Amino acid sequence: METIRTVSWMKEKAREARAEQRVVGLVPTMGALHAGHMALVERAQKECSHVYASIFVNPAQFGSSEDLSKYPRRLDADVQKLTAAGVQGLFLPSRDEVYPPGFSTYVQVEGISERFEGKSRPGHFRGVATVVLKLFEIVQPTFAYFGRKDAQQVRVVQKMVHDLNLNVELVICPTVRESDGLALSSRNAYLCEQERRAATVLYRALHAAERKLSVSVRDALELKSAMLEVLDSEPRARVDYAEIVDAETFEPVVRVERRCYALLAVRIGSTRLIDNMLIQAGDRIAVEL
Ligand code: AMP
């Protein structure tokens, strides 16, 4: 696997790929790779002739109160995993490569970026959209792979691709979970043993909403109460938000009448975790596409 550290070299590779009409897949990550990331890589391997993963802990998407320097970094293990998976290249730019001195252009996807994750983490989606647009421009992928674990991020990127007529097709992959339901996340590494056990409360809360849906409850308040009841039962959990939202706009809904997300952000100790479940009103209530 080739490690590419500069924007100019990555762009050269992209030019080469275009000239040879290769199907290029991009898997953007912040590293500390786990089975969730690797599921995106595997999907990309199936659909593309050339797969690039990127690892960049993007300072622009961290708030001033969030500790960017503490974000887990495991480059050696990441390189091993990507090599074993057979990806063609790792794009590993430095901070200055992505944001050279004097950088001052940002992408703002209005509306959706201001809700939930965007409200709790001001500027977060501006940072995400900016870096993702840059990665698309630099790598020029045919397909780009994202996880539904970060559902609002997916929607922000989809909206940006649509609004700016970008030449890339997004592929959204299901959330990979531990056997007890906890969604894999690089941030799970922060949890101590007791917190790790407590962290299953997110999945249990989503499951409670699912049970209500299965007995035809469509009232969003009732579904939300079911989630909160479970979350409140866990003393280590502090709820940031628990909501039923429209899957396109991320506006809270009154009733589940079209595709919605049950959406959670919960602090377990000092670690903030997010999770979600895609739901709809028809026969199959919980959808994982
Ligand atoms: P991150 O390194 O956290 O920025 O994540 C990189 C990509 O992996 C994003 O598209 C995430 O949505 C995706 N991802 C993270 N965790 C999971 C998971 N448990 N299952 C599926 N995809 C995931």
User: How far from the centroid of its chain's Cα atoms is residue 119's Cα?
Assistant: 16
- Burial call 136-145: b when 16+ CB within 10 Å, e when fewer: bebbbbbbbb
Q: What amino acid occupies position 11?
A: K
Specify whether 207 is catalytic.
Answer: no
Residue 241 CA to ligand 1 centre (angstroms): 20
Query: What is the layout of strands, in order, in the sheet containing 143-147?
Result: 2-4, 89-91, 50-55, 24-29, 143-147, 169-173
Is residue 36 within 6 Å of ligand 1 at its C-beta? Answer: yes
CB distance 152 to ligand 1 below 6 Å: no
CB of 40 sitting under 6 A from ligand 1: yes
Q: What is the number of the ligand 1 atom nearest to the C-alpha of 40?
A: 22
- Give the residue, by CA position, lying nearest to ligand 1 atom 18: 36
Q: How far is the CA of 216 from the centre of ligand 1 (A)?
A: 31
155 CB within 6 A, ligand 1: no
List per-residue pLDDT tens for the chain, 289 residues long. Answer: 999 999 999 999 999 998 999 999 999 999 999 999 999 999 999 999 999 999 999 999 999 888 899 999 999 999 999 999 999 999 999 999 999 999 999 999 999 999 999 999 999 999 999 999 999 999 999 999 999 999 999 999 999 999 999 999 999 999 999 999 999 999 999 999 999 999 999 999 999 999 999 999 999 999 999 999 999 999 999 999 999 999 999 999 999 999 999 999 999 999 999 999 999 876 555 555 4
